[in-house]
Amino acid sequence: MPPKPPRPKPVRRAVQKEILTKGRPASIAWLLIVACLTLGMHNATLIATGQVTKPGPSVTWLAWLVIVAFVVLVGGLIWLLPRLMTVWLWQWGVIIAQLALTVGVGTWLHGGQELLYMGMLPLMLIEGLNLVSDRWWVIVLIWLTYGAVWVSYGLNTNWTRMAVMIQASLFTAVVVIYYWRFYSHQVDERLKSVGGVTIGVQAIRSLNCS
């Protein structure tokens, strides 16, 4: 783990906190969509491989419980992000916990793990870019973890599918980082303008008082 980074500027921290706070409903909605798609793919895999003979709601109860527990734990962390970002160890703890949960559930699943990995990638990238002060260390950690996951995936399936998943991951990361930079710049400018107006009002008040 890298050394403790210097304390970020107040304006940048305010931008990060606003993005995390306002993005919670969308993140949880996306998490639910990913969970439903993962269960659907898991069910389809069981049917295709002959483990389930009848189509329909045939996902095992254990798979339901695992996915529901995953959604509850990750969703709880997402909702607490604005509070957890105040302590350096909690910032890293959230990212590591989500990576561990994603890899653990994806490894346990037999079918649907690709959707789980790809669905969680943009969420963790956005959190890493806004939660941790030294965000590029988090991006490196996420990429190292996903690199190991896709290599293992290629060894267990085939290298063509692994190459496709790596390309999809790279494309997702580029899109997320691009739009994050665009949106954070807008929020940054707005907060700076609000701060400038506040300083101007305070200066006028001080002149009037004098």
pLDDT for 12 = 63
pLDDT grade, residue 187 (50/70/90)?
Answer: low
Question: Residue 32: CA atoms inside 13 Å, Cβ hemisphere, count?
Answer: 6
pLDDT for 209 = 53
77 vs 114: CA distance, rounded Å: 22
pLDDT grade, residue 164 (50/70/90)?
Answer: confident
Question: Residue 106, Cβ neighbours under 10 Å: how many?
Answer: 19
H-only helix segments in the chain: 10-22, 24-48, 61-79, 81-84, 88-108, 113-131, 135-156, 159-209
What is the 3 state secondary structure string of 121-152? HHHHHHHHHHHCCCHHHHHHHHHHHHHHHHHH
pTM greater than 0.85: no
pLDDT for 194 = 57
Percent of the chain residues past pLDDT 90, beyond the cut: 22
pLDDT grade, residue 16 (50/70/90)?
Answer: confident
Token pair belonging to 157: 């399936």
Closest by CA to 135, choosing from 79, 95, 170, 102, is 95
Token pair belonging to 172: 């997702």
